[in-house]
Amino acid sequence: MIIKKSSNNKKVKSEISEYVSEYRERGLNLVPLKFRDKVPVVKWDEFQRRLITEEEIRKYWNGEIKHNIGIVCGAISGNLAVIDFDTREAFYKFFGENNNSIYTVKAGRGVHVYFRTKRPVKTLKILNGEGREEIILKGEGSYVVAPPSVHPSGAQYEILNKIPIPQRDEEDFREFFRELAEKKGYKVRGQREVIVIEEILKGVNEGHRDNSLLYLLTFLRRAGLEEQRAFELAKQWNQRNHPPLPISDVEYKLRYVYSHEPYRYRFSLNPKTVTISDDLEIRDISNSITYDEITRGTSGVTETRKIKDGEIIEIPGENDYVFLGKNVVQYVYVNENGKKVTETPKSVISGFFRINKRYDIDGFTYFDVSTERRLKVVSMDSLLKLLKSEGKVLKGRMLSDVVGIIASSVKEVEQGHSTIGIYEKEGNGELEVCLTPIPVTDEQQIVQLELKDAISYRATKEDIEIYISYMEFFHPYEVLPVLGLAVMSPFSLIIKSFHIILPILYLWGKHRNIGKSKTVQVFTEGFYGLGMASADRLLSEFRFNEIMNSACLPKGFDEGEKINFDKMVVIREACENQMISSRGRPDLTQVRYYSRLTPFFTGNDVKAKRPETLKRMFIVHFDEYRANTKEYEANAKKLEDLINSLNPVGFELMKFVCNSVKTKENLYNLIRKKRDLLLKVYRFEDVTKSWSWGTCYLGLVLWRRFCKKYGVDWKLPTPAEFAEKVIKNIESSTWEEVEEIATAFRDWFDGWLENKREKTGLAEHGFVENNKGEMVSGYWITNTVLQEYKKDAKGKDMPPISNLKRLAESISQTFDIPIE
């Protein structure tokens, strides 16, 4: 069918209700949109999970106000996928002009093509040669505007080829379409997701079995396994699933994968360089080897027997490389066409808290081994040339010579971590300070150079007094959280190993010149010498990962309002996980990013609303009126002079607090003790916040000890004062509010329970154990009871309750009675 331009007099004249009925008959879910627009008039997320009701249909499409029709893609509409072509030229590239077998819709300047797929697909954006987005594959989490809606331009959406929506038979339609677009010269936005084959081999739960089976079989085929061998391994793997798939599904997928060109998925391991045993143990043939194994040499063995299909044989000699301390060599294997293929696989050593080593060979040439990040490949040939010129190598092609020289003849061996911070020593739990790291990434090297002079500074009593003088110009809740977290930041990786949140600190106020940026600058740039930056440096996930990996220190970022904290999951992850993310590179190396840095933000506004974001933040609202007072104007010059007089005491402080804490176990116990003290005087609605505040308060305790070492008297607030003057001013809800809710509900519940007894003779209560081990009368309340309360609360002056869990915790903590 050839698409022709439609004139205005050929617009669809059918009643919109006929279209709605037709779409519902086709099993498509709908969402109302603004007329002549693409924007929903409701929160449309819920329509991905539930069908639109008859009442909603009458409201939006039979009423006086006109609305466009949106069709929800994905599982709710029978696995609907729509390819949205921005131009007709792009549509013709894929489907030509003879396209009677597809369901098409004219949409503004472009065309929509409807399909149903075997499984829901995720959205995929495709760019033309100029880098402009020209095609979108819309699936789960998307919707499309449907006929007879009106485009913002005034043109009407129109069905061009009204046939049943075709069913595709590809096992992974998204990957199929991606590869098809790439063959036609398009680029796909974003990299393929890395499939961690090691995790899949452990077995998966229902909902992930089909895709995981497809990934596994594709991996096995690309590894060169014969079909029968792949079938045996897939059956073995299927028994690990919860529950296993029917064996017929395994057989069907096997036939599909081995009869089609395998998808170009990205795997965590190269299929060509692994072996999988009968019990599904996977081993990378380029894994690290021991010193003894290296020193035995790599002399070759001549193969005279016939090579088996898929067998991998090491070829020693001139092609050896030293790569991250591993012996990575060339391998030859036989592909499915019987041809010998030679390639050089490369891999990475990685791990937490490992030591980096730098071998100084002659004062100018170094051999680096990193166990945290990848390094550049060092050619064995160039290394051998250097050693030969020194007369240190007798057998030119033996790797054992190189290892022997490195192990016994080097001038000096340095070792350390890749960044500044406090780390756990190998194996014994003791803590140590690293101020002279061996940087691996560019960002780590930049930080190391920036802090070169600051690290060597020796603190004095006068330095400490200047910081204390600065704090006296502000409220305790404005400066104490900044100070406490600044002291604890060097412990960031250790703290996160306990799964304790090290929160985002956000200082905000709509007025300028009220001290929020200056305060962050004092305890980041002043303390440690690490300069402030703009928050837009973190808008790219790649840049965020690089900066967070740069040092275990606090760093300030202005213009925090540029960041949507609710949307950036990576920021929330960085608050409580040691490792933020990892990504693969074309050379098969894997780069891991650790969450070392503690970001402190300032801004004119903060837009975080989601509970999972807020529990990871300390949001400090600076005094808005300070800038307009004469007193502040008089103090502005004094504050500027103090800031200009600051010296970096942070590294002396870091060594002091490390010596005070001593061990990883002691750090945890100290945080827990401070948390328990705060819990006695301030009942936290969210238990995760109590750990965060315990960490912050410990920082103040350590700062006080540091001050005493230099003979400076700094008054540490008691836990009660800290709760009253700091926590209460920062936390959005106070314990009084929680207590009010609990009391109101208990009063209401007593009456409700009595009424229920009279009607049914039953009461949902019993004897349960409270947190003191006593048997008390407790209650089991359900969402039904909560809904009853909400109904009554609307007509009476009672505080609203939105969350059953919060209600149960409120009552339990207020009255010491468990509520299940």
Lowest-confidence segment of 40-54, 185-199, 243-257 by average pLDDT: 185-199
The number of C-alpha atoms within 13 Å of 667 and in the hemisphere containing its C-beta is 28
pLDDT confidence band for 701 (50 / 70 / 90): very high
Confidence of residue 734 (pLDDT cuts 50, 70, 90): very low
112 pLDDT more than 90: yes
- pTM > 0.75: no
Please spell the DSSP secondary structure of 759-790, one letter per residue. Answer: HHS---EEEEE-TTS-EEEEE---HHHHHHHH
Over residues 562-586, the pLDDT tens digits come to 888 888 888 888 898 888 876 655 5
Inter-residue contact 819 to 812 (CB < 8 Å): yes
Asked if the domains at 8-188 and 461-730 fall in one CATH topology, the answer is no
- Which of 461, 500, 522 is CA-nearest to residue 616? 500
Is residue 541 over pLDDT 60?
Answer: yes
- Which segments of 320-364 are extended strands (E)? 321-323, 326-328, 330-334, 340-343, 356-360
pLDDT at residue 605 is higher than 80:
yes
Provide the pLDDT for residue 286.
Answer: 46
Residue 327 in this model has a pLDDT that exceeds 70: no
- Cβ neighbours of residue 271 under 8 Å, at least 6 residues apart? 219, 220, 222, 223, 224
Nearest-10 crossing angle of helices 461-471, 476-488 = 140
**Residue 800 pLDDT level (bands cut at 50, 70, 90):** low
Question: Domain-by-domain residue ranges, the chain?
Answer: 8-188, 194-276, 461-730, 736-815
Query: Vertex 407, ends 406 and 412: CA angle to 5°?
Result: 75
Q: How many residues does the chain have?
A: 820
Mean per-residue pLDDT of the chain: 77
pLDDT, residue 298, reads: 30
Highest mean pLDDT among 277-291, 536-550, 805-819: 536-550
pLDDT value for 418: 84
Residue scoring higher pLDDT (17 or 752):
17
Q: Is 60 exceeded by the pLDDT of residue 410?
A: no
- Nearest alpha carbon to residue 495 among 297, 331, 657: 657
Structure token pair of residue 698:
């410990």
pLDDT tens digits, residue range 620-674?
988 766 655 666 667 777 888 888 899 999 999 999 999 999 999 999 999 999 9
Q: Which residue has the tokens 């395994």?
A: 250
- Please write down the long-range contacts of 303-310, taking CB distance under 8 Å and 24 or more positions apart: 307/334, 307/340, 308/334, 309/224, 309/226, 309/334, 309/336, 309/338, 310/223, 310/224, 310/225, 310/226, 310/334
Report whether pLDDT(122) > 50: yes
Model pLDDT for residues 249-300, shown as the tens digit of each residue: 899 889 889 888 778 888 878 887 787 888 888 876 543 333 232 222 233 2
Question: Residue 111 pLDDT more than 90?
Answer: yes
Higher pLDDT, 304 or 486: 486
Any idea what DSSP says for residue 141? T
Superfamily of domain 8-188: Bifunctional DNA primase/polymerase domain (3.30.2250.10)
CATH of domain 461-730: 3.40.50.300
Q: Quick check: 336 pLDDT over 80?
A: no
Mean pLDDT value across residues 461-486: 94
| φ, ψ of residue 658 in degrees (nearest 5) | -65, -45
Q: How confident is the model at residue 737 (pLDDT cuts 50, 70, 90)?
A: low
15-19, 309-313, 405-409, range with the lowest pLDDT? 309-313
294-308, 480-494, 650-664, 667-681: least confident range? 294-308
What was the pLDDT predicted at 702?
97
